[in-house]
Chain A
Amino acid sequence: MNRIILRILAQRIALSLLLLLLVSVLIFAGTQILPGDVAASILGQSATPEALANLREELGLNAPAWQRYFDWLGGLLQGDLGRSLTNGRDIGEAIGQRLSNTLFLATTAAVIAVPLAIFLGLVSVLYRDRWPDKLISALSLAAVSVPEFLIGYILMFWVGVQLGWAPSVAILNDTMTFWERLHAITLPVAVLTMVVLAHMMRMTRAAILNVMQSPYIETAELKGLGTFAVIWRHALPNAISPVVNVVMLNLAYLVVGVVVVEVVFVYPGMGQFLVDHVSKRDVPVVQACGLIFASVYILLNMVADIVSILANPRLRHPK
C-alpha cells in the first residue's frame, strides 16, 4: 500500500459518507416538501380542518422543515429511527429481524449467482459466436425482458403448486433450523438468481470481450500461448476491475429486486415491510427503509470503486 492509494481511498470513502448525508436530505425532502401533505394523505379527503390541524401538531409538522430534518438526522445518528405513525411502535425494533431476513435472502442469491454468472460469462467468451454463446445470450435477453414477478409466479405455479417440489410461499419462523430456512426460500432465491444472473452474465461477457480486443492480447496470441493461457494470464488480471464493477452493480440491482420478490412470496423482509407502509402512508417507516436500501446501494458502489482503485497498476506502481 502506498501513500497515493491511501489518499485516494480516503477520498472515496469520504465521498460515500457525503453522498449518504445528501441522500438523507433528498429522502427527507422527497417526503416533506412535495405538494402532498402527510396529514392530509393520512386522513383522506373527508378530513375536517380541526382534525388536520391536530394531526399536524401531533406529527410536529408545524416546525420548519430544516428543523424537523435535523431532529430526524440527530435521531438517526443515535440509532433512533423514529416511531411508526400507524401503530406507534419503534421502527428500529420492527425492522431488525426483517433486515436480517432480507440480507439472508439476498446473500444466498448472491452466493449462487455471482460465481455462476462469471463462469457462464467466460463460457460465452470462449465459445464466442458459437451455439453456447448464442444460447446464453438468447436466454439472458429473455430474462431481462421479463418482470421479476412473472418469473416468481411461473415458478410458484409450476414448481410450487403443480409439481410441489418447493414451498410456494416463503414463511420463516423462529423455530426453523438453518436448512429449513434455506428450503423455505428456495423459490425466491431461484427468482433473484435468474434475474441477476442474466444481467451479470451479459455485462461480464462484454467486460471480458472488451479486454480481449486489446493489442496486448494479440501480443499474447503471437507468443503462441493457448486460449486458456491468454485468458488466464493476460485477460483476467485486467478484467478484474470491470468484472467487479459489473458484480457490484448487479448486487445493487438485487437490492431492488428483493422488494418485489418478497411481496410475491409473502416473505417477512424489509421489502414487504416498505411496500406495506407505503400503502398505509406511514412516512417515518418509509423514510427509514428508503435510507437503509440507499445505504446498501451506496456501500456496494463504494466497494466496486475501491476494488478498481486497488487493481489499477498505475496506482499500485506509481512512476
Chain B
Amino acid sequence: MTGTLLKVRDLRIGATIYPPGAAAEDIEIVHGVSFDLERGKVLGLIGESGAGKSTIGLASLAYGRGGVRITGGEVHLNGRDILSLGPKGHRDLRGAEVSYVSQSAAASFNPSKPILQQVTEATIRHGRLSAREAEARAIDLFRQLGLPEPETIGQRYPHQVSGGQLQRCMTALALCPKPDLVVFDEPTTALDVTTQIDVLKAIKDAIAATGVAALYITHDLAVVAQVSDEIMVLRNGATVEHGTAEQIISAPQEAYTQALVSVRSTQNPARTGPATPVVEIRNVSARYKGLDADIVSDISVELVPGRTLAVVGESGSGKSTLARVLTGLLPPREGKILFEGRALAREYDARPRDDLREIQMIYQMADVAMNPRQNVGTIIGRPLEFYFGMKGSEKVRRVRELLDAIDLGAEFADRYPAELSGGQKQRVCIARALAAKPKVIICDEVTSALDPLVAEGILKLLLDLQTAEGVAYMFITHDLATVRAIADTIAVMHRGKIVRYGPKPQVLSPPFDDYTDLLLGSVPEMRIGWLEEVIARRKMESAGH
C-alpha cells in the first residue's frame, strides 16, 4: 500500500511557562509546521534543544506532554483528522495505529512488571492480536532486533537487561501492534557510541522488515542521515529546510543547515614536539572507598603548557575518575602526581592554596556548577578575592576584562545564572577558571550538554584562550569529533586502563588496537550508507578471524 499516511498542516503548539518571579505566561513553541509522510518512509526531524521536534513527534499521537497543548492546525493520519477525535478516539489510536519509542527505555519500562507483558500489552488491549499471537510476534521481534535469548528475555524484568537491550525491547514494544507509524524520540542518544551503532542498525532493519513508517527525532545529523529517507530541519519551532536525506547532507540550501552539516569538520593541527610537562601523572591507581577493584589503574599521562590532552572513553571507562584523582578529590591508592617536578599532596584539603589555584576545573553541567544565588560578578570575582586579595574597583575592572575575554559584556556581572543561556553559563564557568590564573584546566565533558553550534563556539573560545594564556588542558570527553577538533595528545581509556596514548596523528591512524578500532569505527559519519559499510566491514572481519 502506498500513499500519504501522515499529513500535518500548519501545526501550532502552545505551552504555559512559569518564569521566575513573574506570572504564568502562555507561549507558542511550534509555529505552523507542515509536512507529509508516505507509507513505509522514514522522516528525520532534526534540531537543537527547543526546536520543538519531540513536541511535533508527540502531536502525531495527539499527545501533549506536561502543560503542552496543540492550539491549531491539523494532523491527518490514515485520512482522518486525529486532533478532533475525543479521548476514546485517542486511546484507540495510541498503541495501535501509532506508537512511541522514548529516549530513556530504562525509565519508560514499568520496573515491577516483566518485559514481555509490557511489550504485548497494547497489542492485546487493542485487540490487534490474541495473547498467544502477540507473544509469538514479540519473540519474533526480539529475534529480529538481535536480542540474546529471544525466547526467554521477555520473562526478565527491566533492571535485569542492559541499556542497549532495553532500548531494543522498547522498539519491539512499539512495533508489536503492527502500527502504521512509529515515533522514535532520540532512541540512541543515551547510549554509548559503540552500543549506539548496533541499536541503530537493529532499528533500521526492523523498520525495513515491517514496512512501518517512522518519524525519527534526533539532534545528531549524522545519525539521522543513516536511517531517514527525508530530513526536516527545525529551529525554534519552525521549519528551516525539508528535503531528501541526500540533498540535506550533500547540498544544504539554508545557512543554518550548512552550519549543522559542517559543525564536525573543524580540525586543528596537533602541536607536537618536545616540551617540559607541567603535570605528570605517574602510575596512578585509585578506587572508591568500599570497592575492591580499581576504577583507574596504572595511569601515566603528561600535561604540557599550551597544549591539550584529550582523555577519551565511554561511560564507566574511568575518565572522570582520573580528573577527580588529579584534583585531589579522590586520593590515589598508588602512584603520584607531579606538578612542575614536585609531588602534589594526595588529597585536595592537604594542598596549599596556591596548588589549588594552579589546577582549575570546568564541569559538564554549567547549571549546577554555579551557585544559583550568586550573580555572575560574585561568581567570577570570588577567585580574584580569594587567591589575589583583589577588592573594590580593581576587582570590578578584572571581572570586566574576564567577561570581555569570554565575549560577554560588562552588564552580565549583575545577572544570575538562571538568566543565562546554556552557552553563556559555560562561558561564565570558563571565566571563573581563568580568574585563578591556573597553569592547568580540567574540562570535564564541557560541551556534551550543549547544542552542536553552541558547543563549537565554546571549543573555539577555549582554544583562543589557550593560545593567549598558555594553559594546559586536560579535556575529558566521550565525543571523538571534539577530540579531533582540539586534541594535541590523546589517551584512550577502556575499563580503567589507558589502551592507547600518544600524539593525535599517531593515535588516530592505523594500525589500531581492537578497542580503538571499534570506538573510532562507531562514530557516525555524515554520509549516507556509512552504517551499512561499517556493519559489512565488521562482518567480513569477524568472518576472517
Instruction: Give CA–CA (A144, B121) in the complex, Å.
Output: 42
Instruction: Give CA–CA (A219, B104) in the complex, Å.
Output: 11
Known: A222-B61, A224-B93, A314-B157. 14 other contacts (CB 8 A): A218-B108, A219-B108, A219-B118, A222-B100, A223-B94, A223-B125, A224-B96, A226-B91, A237-B112, A237-B113, A238-B111, A313-B157, A317-B156, A317-B160
Known: A216-B111, A222-B61. A319 touches B159 (CB 8 A): yes
Residues of B within 8 Å of A223, CB to CB, are 94-95, 99, 121-122, 125
CB-CB contacts below 8 Å: B385-441 with A: none
Q: Is A224 within 8 A of B92, CB to CB?
A: yes
Residues of B within 8 Å of A319, CB to CB, are 159-160
Residues of A within 8 Å of B373, CB to CB, are none
CB-CB contacts below 8 Å: A231-262 with B: 233-234, 237-238
> Nearest Cβ in chain A — how far from B446, in angstroms?
28
CB-CB contacts below 8 Å: A298-319 with B: 311, 313-314, 317, 319
Can you name the residue of chain B whose Cβ is closest to the Cβ of A235?
B110
Q: Is A224 within 8 A of B90, CB to CB?
A: yes
Known: A221-B94, A224-B90. A314 touches B111 (CB 8 A): yes
Instruction: Give CA–CA (A216, B90) in the complex, Å.
Output: 18
Counting chain A CB atoms within 10 Å of each CB, the highest count among B99, B110, B121, B173 belongs to: B110
Residues of A within 8 Å of B342, CB to CB, are none
Can you name 10 A-B residue pairings with CB atoms under 8 Å?
A: A215-B104, A220-B110, A222-B61, A222-B99, A224-B92, A234-B110, A237-B112, A237-B113, A311-B112, A317-B159
Give 1 or 0 for each of B159-187: 1 = CB within 8 Å of chain A CB: 11000000000000100000000000000
CB-CB contacts below 8 Å: B49-65 with A: 61, 63, 65
Q: Is B108 within 8 A of A216, CB to CB?
A: yes
Q: Is A292 an interface residue (CB 8 A)?
A: no
Q: Choose from B94, B107, B122 the contact partner of A215 (Cβ within 8 Å).
A: B107
Residues of A within 8 Å of B156, CB to CB, are 317
> Nearest Cβ in chain A — how far from B228, in angstroms?
22
Q: Is A222 within 8 A of B94, CB to CB?
A: yes
Instruction: Give CA–CA (A319, B160) in the complex, Å.
Output: 5
Q: Is A238 within 8 A of B92, CB to CB?
A: no
Residues of A within 8 Å of B112, CB to CB, are 237-238, 311, 313
Q: Is A229 an interface residue (CB 8 A)?
A: yes
Can you name the residue of chain A whose Cβ is closest to the Cβ of B106?
A215
Q: Is A225 an interface residue (CB 8 A)?
A: yes
Q: Is A216 within 8 A of B95, CB to CB?
A: no
CB-CB contacts below 8 Å: B76-128 with A: 90-96, 99-100, 102, 104, 107-113, 118, 121-122, 125-126
Can you name the residue of chain A whose Cβ is closest to the Cβ of B94?
A224
Instruction: Give CA–CA (A59, B121) in the complex, Å.
Output: 71
Q: Choose from B65, B108, B122 the contact partner of A224 (Cβ within 8 Å).
A: B122
Instruction: Give CA–CA (A238, B110) in the complex, Å.
Output: 8
Known: A224-B126, A225-B91. A216 touches B110 (CB 8 A): yes
Q: Is A145 an interface residue (CB 8 A)?
A: no
Instruction: Give CA–CA (A271, B156) in the complex, Å.
Output: 51
Q: Is A62 an interface residue (CB 8 A)?
A: no
Can you name the residue of chain A whose Cβ is closest to the Cβ of B92?
A224
Instruction: Give CA–CA (A221, B107) in the complex, Å.
Output: 14
Q: Is A214 an interface residue (CB 8 A)?
A: yes
Residues of B within 8 Å of A224, CB to CB, are 90-96, 122, 125-126
Residues of A within 8 A of B (CB): 214-216, 218-226, 229, 233-234, 237-238, 311, 313-314, 317, 319
Give 1 or 0 for each of B211-222: 1 = CB within 8 Å of chain A CB: 000000000000
Residues of B within 8 Å of A311, CB to CB, are 112
Residues of A within 8 Å of B125, CB to CB, are 223-225, 229
Counting chain B CB atoms within 10 Å of each CB, the highest count among A226, A237, A313 belongs to: A313
Q: Which 8 A-B pairs have the closest CB atoms?
A: A223-B95, A224-B94, A223-B122, A224-B95, A215-B107, A224-B91, A237-B112, A216-B110
Residues of B within 8 Å of A238, CB to CB, are 110-112
> Nearest Cβ in chain B — how far from A307, in angstroms?
14
Known: A215-B104, A229-B125, A317-B157. A222 touches B111 (CB 8 A): no
Instruction: Give CA–CA (A216, B102) in the complex, Å.
Output: 10
Instruction: Give CA–CA (A127, B99) in the complex, Å.
Output: 27
Residues of B within 8 Å of A233, CB to CB, are 113, 121
Instruction: Give CA–CA (A197, B113) in the complex, Å.
Output: 31
> Nearest Cβ in chain A — how far from B105, in angstroms?
9
Instruction: Give CA–CA (A204, B455) in the complex, Å.
Output: 44
> Nearest Cβ in chain A — how far from B173, in angstroms?
8
> Nearest Cβ in chain A — how far from B216, in angstroms?
17
Residues of B within 8 Å of A237, CB to CB, are 110, 112-113
Can you name the residue of chain A whose Cβ is closest to the Cβ of B58?
A222
Known: A224-B91, A224-B126, A313-B159. A218 touches B65 (CB 8 A): yes
> Nearest Cβ in chain A — how far from B281, in angstroms?
35
> Nearest Cβ in chain A — how far from B210, in angstroms?
18
Instruction: Give CA–CA (A234, B113) in the complex, Å.
Output: 9
Q: Is A313 within 8 A of B95, CB to CB?
A: no
Q: Is B93 within 8 A of A215, CB to CB?
A: no
Q: Is B160 within 8 A of A215, CB to CB?
A: no
> Nearest Cβ in chain B — how far from A244, in angstroms?
14
Instruction: Give CA–CA (A221, B65) in the complex, Å.
Output: 11
Instruction: Give CA–CA (A233, B99) in the complex, Å.
Output: 19
> Nearest Cβ in chain A — how far from B185, in angstroms?
11
Can you name the residue of chain A whose Cβ is closest to the Cβ of B157?
A317
> Nearest Cβ in chain A — how far from B442, in angstroms?
33
Residues of A within 8 Å of B93, CB to CB, are 224
CB-CB contacts below 8 Å: B113-160 with A: 113, 118, 121-122, 125-126, 156-157, 159-160
Counting chain B CB atoms within 10 Å of each CB, the highest count among A223, A229, A234, A319 belongs to: A223
Can you name the residue of chain A whose Cβ is closest to the Cβ of B63?
A222
Residues of B within 8 Å of A229, CB to CB, are 125
Residues of B within 8 Å of A226, CB to CB, are 91
Residues of A within 8 Å of B94, CB to CB, are 221-224
Residues of A within 8 Å of B160, CB to CB, are 317, 319
Give 1 or 0 for each of B443-480: 1 = CB within 8 Å of chain A CB: 00000000000000000000000000000000000000
Counting chain B CB atoms within 10 Å of each CB, the highest count among A219, A233, A238 belongs to: A219
Residues of A within 8 Å of B126, CB to CB, are 224
Known: A215-B102, A313-B157. A225 touches B110 (CB 8 A): no
Instruction: Give CA–CA (A50, B122) in the complex, Å.
Output: 86
Q: Is A219 within 8 A of B111, CB to CB?
A: no
Residues of A within 8 Å of B121, CB to CB, are 223, 225, 233
Instruction: Give CA–CA (A206, B304) in the complex, Å.
Output: 54
Instruction: Give CA–CA (A272, B236) in the complex, Å.
Output: 68
Counting chain B CB atoms within 10 Å of each CB, the highest count among A216, A224, A234, A238 belongs to: A224
Q: Is B109 within 8 A of A219, CB to CB?
A: yes
Instruction: Give CA–CA (A222, B102) in the complex, Å.
Output: 11
Instruction: Give CA–CA (A215, B103) in the complex, Å.
Output: 10
Residues of B within 8 Å of A214, CB to CB, are 107
> Nearest Cβ in chain A — how far from B56, in angstroms?
15
> Nearest Cβ in chain A — how far from B466, in angstroms?
41
Instruction: Give CA–CA (A57, B109) in the complex, Å.
Output: 69
Residues of B within 8 Å of A221, CB to CB, are 63, 94
Instruction: Give CA–CA (A214, B104) in the complex, Å.
Output: 11
Residues of A within 8 Å of B118, CB to CB, are 219
